[in-house]
Amino acid sequence: MKAFVVRKYGKDGLGPAVVPEPTVGPTDVLVKVNAASINPLDVMIRNGEFKQLLKYRKPFVLGHDVAGVVTEVGPAVRGFAVGDEIYSRPRDLRIGTFAEYIAIDQADLAPKPVSLSLHEAAAVPLVALAAWQILVDRAHVQPGQKVLIHAGAGGLGSTVIQLAKHLGAHVATTANGRDTDRLRALGADIVIDYTKQDFAQMLSGYDFVLDSLGGTNLEKSVTVVKPGGLAIGVAGPPDAGFAKQLGLPGFMRLPLGLLSRKIRNAAKKRGARYEFFFMQANGTQLRDLAALYDAGVLRPVLDRTFPFDRTLEALAFVEQGKAHGKVVITMD
Protein backbone atom coordinates (compact mmCIF):
# COMPACT_ATOMS: atom_id res chain seq x y z
CA MET A 1 0.00 0.00 0.00
CA LYS A 2 1.03 3.63 -0.46
CA ALA A 3 2.11 5.52 2.64
CA PHE A 4 4.26 8.38 3.90
CA VAL A 5 6.96 7.07 6.21
CA VAL A 6 9.63 8.51 8.46
CA ARG A 7 12.94 6.94 7.43
CA LYS A 8 15.07 9.23 9.58
CA TYR A 9 14.37 12.07 11.96
CA GLY A 10 14.51 15.57 10.53
CA LYS A 11 12.75 17.83 8.04
CA ASP A 12 13.73 15.69 5.04
CA GLY A 13 13.09 12.40 6.82
CA LEU A 14 9.50 11.89 5.63
CA GLY A 15 8.70 10.58 2.17
CA PRO A 16 6.40 8.39 0.09
CA ALA A 17 6.85 4.62 0.13
CA VAL A 18 5.13 1.35 -0.63
CA VAL A 19 4.74 -0.74 2.53
CA PRO A 20 2.87 -3.94 3.44
CA GLU A 21 -0.73 -3.65 4.57
CA PRO A 22 -0.95 -3.84 8.38
CA THR A 23 -1.77 -7.12 10.05
CA VAL A 24 -4.92 -7.32 12.13
CA GLY A 25 -4.63 -8.47 15.74
CA PRO A 26 -7.44 -10.01 17.83
CA THR A 27 -8.75 -6.63 19.06
CA ASP A 28 -7.87 -4.64 15.93
CA VAL A 29 -10.03 -3.08 13.27
CA LEU A 30 -8.61 -2.60 9.77
CA VAL A 31 -9.65 0.75 8.34
CA LYS A 32 -9.51 1.89 4.73
CA VAL A 33 -8.42 5.49 5.13
CA ASN A 34 -10.72 8.03 3.50
CA ALA A 35 -9.07 11.09 5.01
CA ALA A 36 -6.47 12.05 7.58
CA SER A 37 -5.53 15.41 9.04
CA ILE A 38 -2.27 17.15 9.79
CA ASN A 39 -1.32 18.15 13.33
CA PRO A 40 1.70 20.00 14.72
CA LEU A 41 2.40 16.75 16.57
CA ASP A 42 3.17 15.13 13.20
CA VAL A 43 5.92 17.69 12.66
CA MET A 44 7.28 17.11 16.17
CA ILE A 45 7.35 13.33 15.74
CA ARG A 46 8.97 13.61 12.29
CA ASN A 47 11.65 15.87 13.75
CA GLY A 48 12.36 13.41 16.57
CA GLU A 49 11.39 15.75 19.40
CA PHE A 50 10.06 12.82 21.45
CA LYS A 51 12.47 10.16 20.21
CA GLN A 52 13.88 9.54 23.70
CA LEU A 53 10.39 8.94 25.07
CA LEU A 54 8.38 7.44 22.20
CA LYS A 55 10.48 4.65 20.72
CA TYR A 56 9.24 4.38 17.15
CA ARG A 57 11.09 1.83 15.02
CA LYS A 58 12.05 3.44 11.71
CA PRO A 59 10.79 3.36 9.10
CA PHE A 60 7.28 4.05 10.40
CA VAL A 61 4.14 5.56 8.91
CA LEU A 62 3.27 9.02 10.22
CA GLY A 63 -0.21 10.43 10.97
CA HIS A 64 -2.37 10.80 14.08
CA ASP A 65 -5.94 11.44 12.79
CA VAL A 66 -8.15 9.33 10.58
CA ALA A 67 -11.66 8.78 9.29
CA GLY A 68 -12.51 5.82 7.12
CA VAL A 69 -14.40 2.59 6.59
CA VAL A 70 -13.91 -0.72 8.40
CA THR A 71 -12.77 -3.49 6.04
CA GLU A 72 -11.83 -6.23 8.53
CA VAL A 73 -12.22 -6.92 12.25
CA GLY A 74 -10.24 -9.12 14.60
CA PRO A 75 -11.92 -12.12 16.27
CA ALA A 76 -12.21 -10.36 19.66
CA VAL A 77 -13.69 -7.13 18.29
CA ARG A 78 -17.15 -6.21 19.53
CA GLY A 79 -19.31 -3.33 18.35
CA PHE A 80 -17.69 -2.75 14.94
CA ALA A 81 -18.42 -4.45 11.63
CA VAL A 82 -17.21 -4.30 8.05
CA GLY A 83 -18.64 -1.22 6.37
CA ASP A 84 -18.84 0.95 9.51
CA GLU A 85 -17.63 4.53 9.17
CA ILE A 86 -15.29 5.41 12.03
CA TYR A 87 -12.94 8.10 13.25
CA SER A 88 -9.94 7.78 15.53
CA ARG A 89 -6.71 9.09 16.97
CA PRO A 90 -4.70 5.84 17.22
CA ARG A 91 -2.60 5.37 20.33
CA ASP A 92 1.07 6.31 20.45
CA LEU A 93 3.41 3.76 18.86
CA ARG A 94 0.50 2.62 16.67
CA ILE A 95 0.01 5.76 14.62
CA GLY A 96 0.15 5.64 10.82
CA THR A 97 -2.83 7.38 9.24
CA PHE A 98 -0.88 8.73 6.24
CA ALA A 99 -1.52 5.48 4.41
CA GLU A 100 -4.19 3.62 2.49
CA TYR A 101 -4.94 1.32 5.44
CA ILE A 102 -4.33 1.31 9.18
CA ALA A 103 -5.04 -1.28 11.90
CA ILE A 104 -6.40 0.34 15.07
CA ASP A 105 -7.22 -1.17 18.46
CA GLN A 106 -10.99 -1.10 18.98
CA ALA A 107 -10.53 0.88 22.21
CA ASP A 108 -9.15 3.82 20.22
CA LEU A 109 -11.93 4.37 17.72
CA ALA A 110 -15.61 5.30 17.59
CA PRO A 111 -18.39 5.62 15.03
CA LYS A 112 -17.90 8.94 13.28
CA PRO A 113 -20.38 11.73 14.04
CA VAL A 114 -23.43 11.23 11.84
CA SER A 115 -23.58 14.92 10.96
CA LEU A 116 -20.02 15.06 9.63
CA SER A 117 -18.60 13.86 6.35
CA LEU A 118 -15.59 11.58 6.49
CA HIS A 119 -13.40 14.50 5.45
CA GLU A 120 -14.75 16.63 8.28
CA ALA A 121 -14.51 13.78 10.78
CA ALA A 122 -10.82 13.30 9.98
CA ALA A 123 -10.16 16.82 11.29
CA VAL A 124 -11.66 16.09 14.67
CA PRO A 125 -10.16 13.28 16.81
CA LEU A 126 -6.86 14.67 18.13
CA VAL A 127 -8.01 18.24 18.75
CA ALA A 128 -11.37 17.19 20.20
CA LEU A 129 -9.79 14.67 22.56
CA ALA A 130 -7.17 17.22 23.57
CA ALA A 131 -9.82 19.87 24.24
CA TRP A 132 -11.85 17.46 26.41
CA GLN A 133 -8.88 16.11 28.33
CA ILE A 134 -7.48 19.60 28.93
CA LEU A 135 -10.65 21.41 29.95
CA VAL A 136 -12.62 18.61 31.65
CA ASP A 137 -10.11 16.05 32.90
CA ARG A 138 -7.22 18.35 33.84
CA ALA A 139 -8.48 21.92 34.35
CA HIS A 140 -11.99 21.00 35.56
CA VAL A 141 -13.35 24.20 34.01
CA GLN A 142 -16.54 25.43 35.67
CA PRO A 143 -19.23 27.92 34.56
CA GLY A 144 -18.14 31.51 35.05
CA GLN A 145 -14.42 30.79 35.14
CA LYS A 146 -12.07 32.86 32.98
CA VAL A 147 -9.94 30.97 30.47
CA LEU A 148 -7.34 32.18 27.97
CA ILE A 149 -6.74 30.11 24.84
CA HIS A 150 -3.72 31.06 22.75
CA ALA A 151 -3.67 30.66 18.97
CA GLY A 152 -7.44 30.52 18.77
CA ALA A 153 -7.50 30.37 14.97
CA GLY A 154 -5.62 27.06 14.86
CA GLY A 155 -7.11 23.59 14.83
CA LEU A 156 -6.68 23.04 18.57
CA GLY A 157 -7.48 26.58 19.67
CA SER A 158 -10.71 26.79 17.67
CA THR A 159 -11.93 23.52 19.20
CA VAL A 160 -10.97 24.45 22.77
CA ILE A 161 -12.80 27.78 22.43
CA GLN A 162 -16.01 26.00 21.46
CA LEU A 163 -15.83 23.46 24.28
CA ALA A 164 -14.86 26.08 26.88
CA LYS A 165 -17.87 28.17 25.91
CA HIS A 166 -20.10 25.09 26.12
CA LEU A 167 -18.79 24.53 29.65
CA GLY A 168 -19.87 28.05 30.58
CA ALA A 169 -16.48 29.75 30.73
CA HIS A 170 -15.63 33.34 29.86
CA VAL A 171 -13.22 32.87 26.96
CA ALA A 172 -10.36 35.08 25.81
CA THR A 173 -8.08 34.18 22.93
CA THR A 174 -5.11 35.52 21.00
CA ALA A 175 -5.09 35.59 17.21
CA ASN A 176 -4.46 37.77 14.21
CA GLY A 177 -7.01 40.57 14.15
CA ARG A 178 -8.40 39.39 10.82
CA ASP A 179 -9.79 36.31 12.58
CA THR A 180 -11.74 38.28 15.20
CA ASP A 181 -15.24 37.84 13.75
CA ARG A 182 -14.76 34.14 13.11
CA LEU A 183 -13.48 33.50 16.64
CA ARG A 184 -16.31 35.46 18.21
CA ALA A 185 -18.71 33.28 16.22
CA LEU A 186 -17.05 30.23 17.78
CA GLY A 187 -17.63 31.61 21.28
CA ALA A 188 -14.68 33.84 22.16
CA ASP A 189 -15.69 36.77 24.39
CA ILE A 190 -12.37 38.60 23.97
CA VAL A 191 -10.08 38.39 20.94
CA ILE A 192 -6.65 39.96 21.40
CA ASP A 193 -4.79 40.84 18.22
CA TYR A 194 -1.28 39.60 18.98
CA THR A 195 0.14 41.71 16.14
CA LYS A 196 -0.88 44.91 17.94
CA GLN A 197 -1.72 44.07 21.56
CA ASP A 198 0.04 42.45 24.51
CA PHE A 199 -2.27 40.01 26.26
CA ALA A 200 -0.21 40.18 29.45
CA GLN A 201 -0.94 43.89 29.71
CA MET A 202 -4.67 43.45 29.09
CA LEU A 203 -5.63 40.36 31.09
CA SER A 204 -5.36 39.27 34.72
CA GLY A 205 -7.02 36.98 37.22
CA TYR A 206 -7.54 34.05 34.87
CA ASP A 207 -8.42 30.61 36.22
CA PHE A 208 -6.83 28.77 33.32
CA VAL A 209 -4.48 29.41 30.40
CA LEU A 210 -3.73 27.06 27.51
CA ASP A 211 -0.44 27.81 25.76
CA SER A 212 0.47 26.15 22.47
CA LEU A 213 3.43 28.36 21.59
CA GLY A 214 5.92 27.86 24.43
CA GLY A 215 8.95 30.01 25.21
CA THR A 216 8.34 33.65 26.06
CA ASN A 217 4.62 33.32 25.39
CA LEU A 218 4.33 30.63 28.06
CA GLU A 219 6.32 32.71 30.55
CA LYS A 220 4.00 35.67 29.99
CA SER A 221 0.96 33.42 30.24
CA VAL A 222 1.79 32.51 33.81
CA THR A 223 1.56 36.19 34.79
CA VAL A 224 -2.16 36.36 34.00
CA VAL A 225 -3.08 33.28 36.06
CA LYS A 226 -4.61 33.99 39.45
CA PRO A 227 -3.58 32.19 42.66
CA GLY A 228 -4.95 28.66 42.56
CA GLY A 229 -5.11 28.77 38.77
CA LEU A 230 -3.50 26.52 36.19
CA ALA A 231 -1.40 27.05 33.06
CA ILE A 232 -1.08 24.13 30.67
CA GLY A 233 1.49 23.95 27.88
CA VAL A 234 1.18 21.66 24.87
CA ALA A 235 4.44 22.78 23.25
CA GLY A 236 6.53 22.08 26.34
CA PRO A 237 8.51 21.98 28.40
CA PRO A 238 7.47 18.49 29.58
CA ASP A 239 7.26 17.64 33.27
CA ALA A 240 7.51 14.58 35.50
CA GLY A 241 3.83 13.86 34.96
CA PHE A 242 4.55 13.22 31.28
CA ALA A 243 7.00 10.46 32.18
CA LYS A 244 4.36 8.90 34.41
CA GLN A 245 1.75 9.12 31.65
CA LEU A 246 4.05 7.27 29.25
CA GLY A 247 4.76 4.63 31.88
CA LEU A 248 8.47 5.41 31.93
CA PRO A 249 10.74 4.31 34.79
CA GLY A 250 10.80 6.53 37.86
CA PHE A 251 14.33 7.77 37.19
CA MET A 252 13.07 9.47 34.00
CA ARG A 253 10.84 11.81 35.98
CA LEU A 254 13.73 13.79 37.43
CA PRO A 255 15.24 14.99 34.11
CA LEU A 256 11.82 15.84 32.73
CA GLY A 257 11.03 17.71 35.93
CA LEU A 258 14.23 19.70 35.52
CA LEU A 259 13.21 20.76 32.02
CA SER A 260 10.10 22.47 33.39
CA ARG A 261 11.54 23.68 36.70
CA LYS A 262 11.82 27.33 35.62
CA ILE A 263 8.22 27.68 34.47
CA ARG A 264 6.87 25.63 37.37
CA ASN A 265 8.70 27.87 39.84
CA ALA A 266 7.36 30.97 38.10
CA ALA A 267 3.83 29.62 38.45
CA LYS A 268 4.41 28.60 42.05
CA LYS A 269 5.50 32.14 42.98
CA ARG A 270 2.04 33.30 41.90
CA GLY A 271 0.32 30.53 43.83
CA ALA A 272 -0.54 28.80 40.54
CA ARG A 273 0.50 25.59 38.77
CA TYR A 274 2.06 24.64 35.44
CA GLU A 275 1.49 21.27 33.76
CA PHE A 276 2.55 19.81 30.43
CA PHE A 277 -0.18 18.12 28.40
CA PHE A 278 0.10 15.24 25.93
CA MET A 279 -3.22 13.77 24.87
CA GLN A 280 -4.16 10.10 25.03
CA ALA A 281 -6.20 7.96 22.65
CA ASN A 282 -9.69 7.24 23.97
CA GLY A 283 -12.52 5.74 21.94
CA THR A 284 -15.06 6.21 24.74
CA GLN A 285 -14.44 9.94 24.82
CA LEU A 286 -14.70 10.06 21.02
CA ARG A 287 -18.21 8.62 21.31
CA ASP A 288 -19.17 11.36 23.77
CA LEU A 289 -17.61 14.01 21.55
CA ALA A 290 -19.48 12.68 18.51
CA ALA A 291 -22.71 13.46 20.35
CA LEU A 292 -21.55 17.05 20.85
CA TYR A 293 -20.81 17.42 17.14
CA ASP A 294 -24.16 15.92 16.19
CA ALA A 295 -25.92 18.26 18.62
CA GLY A 296 -24.24 21.28 17.03
CA VAL A 297 -22.33 22.16 20.19
CA LEU A 298 -19.03 21.63 18.37
CA ARG A 299 -18.19 21.96 14.71
CA PRO A 300 -15.01 21.18 12.82
CA VAL A 301 -12.98 24.12 11.55
CA LEU A 302 -11.22 23.24 8.30
CA ASP A 303 -8.74 25.39 6.45
CA ARG A 304 -8.27 23.33 3.28
CA THR A 305 -7.76 19.85 1.88
CA PHE A 306 -4.86 18.32 -0.06
CA PRO A 307 -4.87 15.10 -2.07
CA PHE A 308 -2.87 12.25 -0.55
CA ASP A 309 0.04 12.56 -2.98
CA ARG A 310 0.57 16.15 -1.74
CA THR A 311 0.94 15.14 1.91
CA LEU A 312 4.41 16.69 2.16
CA GLU A 313 3.03 19.98 0.89
CA ALA A 314 0.20 19.82 3.43
CA LEU A 315 2.65 19.17 6.26
CA ALA A 316 4.80 22.12 5.17
CA PHE A 317 1.73 24.35 5.10
CA VAL A 318 0.94 23.48 8.72
CA GLU A 319 4.58 23.75 9.75
CA GLN A 320 4.75 27.31 8.41
CA GLY A 321 1.86 28.34 10.67
CA LYS A 322 -0.38 29.26 7.76
CA ALA A 323 -3.37 27.13 8.70
CA HIS A 324 -6.53 28.68 10.12
CA GLY A 325 -8.18 25.49 11.28
CA LYS A 326 -7.37 21.91 10.33
CA VAL A 327 -5.67 20.76 7.14
CA VAL A 328 -7.01 17.47 5.76
CA ILE A 329 -5.48 15.05 3.27
CA THR A 330 -7.88 12.95 1.25
CA MET A 331 -7.53 9.52 -0.35
CA ASP A 332 -10.25 9.99 -2.97
Q: Is residue 28 part of a domain?
A: yes
Q: Is pLDDT of 243 > 80?
A: no
12/56 same-domain check: yes
Q: What is the 3-state secondary structure (H, E, C) of 312-332?
A: HHHHHHHHCCCCCCEEEEECC
138/153 same-domain check: yes
pLDDT digits (tens, 9 = 90+) for 38-64: 999 999 999 999 898 899 999 999 999
Longest dimension (CA), the chain: 59
283, containing H or E segment: helix 283-294
Please give the pLDDT value at position 236: 81
* Closest C-alpha among 79, 154, 161, 92 to residue 123: 154
Query: In the predicted model, what is the mean pLDDT of residues 187-191?
Result: 98
Confirm if 246 and 184 have CB atoms less than 8 A apart: no
Please give the pLDDT value at position 290: 98
Q: Is pLDDT of 244 > 90?
A: no
Please give the pLDDT value at position 242: 82
113/48 same-domain check: yes
- Domain ranges, residue 68: 2-124+300-330
39/177 same-domain check: no
pLDDT digits (tens, 9 = 90+) for 202-233: 999 999 999 999 999 999 999 999 999 999 99
Q: Is pLDDT of 155 > 90?
A: yes
Q: Is residue 41 part of a domain?
A: yes
Q: Is residue 118 part of a domain?
A: yes
Please give the pLDDT value at position 116: 98
Q: Considering its fold, how many domains does the chain have in total?
A: 2
Distance separating alpha carbons of residues 304 and 157, to the nearest angstrom = 17
Please give the pLDDT value at position 255: 79
120/139 same-domain check: no
Rounded to 10 degrees, what is the CA torsion of 229, 233, 236, 239? Answer: 40
Which CATH number goes with the domain that contains 306? Answer: 3.90.180.10
116/253 same-domain check: no
131/228 same-domain check: yes
Please give the pLDDT value at position 258: 84
Confirm if 116 and 125 have CB atoms less than 8 A apart: no
Q: Is pLDDT of 241 > 80?
A: yes
Q: How confident is the model at residue 321 (pLDDT cuts 50, 70, 90)?
A: confident
* φ/ψ of residue 232, rounded to 5: -115, 135
Please give the pLDDT value at position 238: 86
Q: How confident is the model at residue 245 (pLDDT cuts 50, 70, 90)?
A: confident
The residues near 254 (Cβ < 8 Å, ≥ 6 apart) are: 240
120/163 same-domain check: no
Q: Is residue 269 part of a domain?
A: yes
Helices and strands (DSSP H and E) totals, the chain: 12, 16
49/184 same-domain check: no
Q: How confident is the model at residue 240 (pLDDT cuts 50, 70, 90)?
A: confident
CB contact burial 69-95 (16+ within 10 A = b; e otherwise): bbebbbeebeebeeebbbbbbbbbeeb
187/261 same-domain check: yes
163/57 same-domain check: no
Confirm if 56 and 6 have CB atoms less than 8 A apart: yes
Q: Is residue 283 part of a domain?
A: no
Please give the pLDDT value at position 257: 79
pLDDT digits (tens, 9 = 90+) for 100-135: 999 999 999 999 999 999 999 999 999 999 999 999
Q: How confident is the model at residue 184 (pLDDT cuts 50, 70, 90)?
A: very high
Q: Is residue 33 part of a domain?
A: yes
191/138 same-domain check: yes
pLDDT digits (tens, 9 = 90+) for 4-14: 999 999 999 99
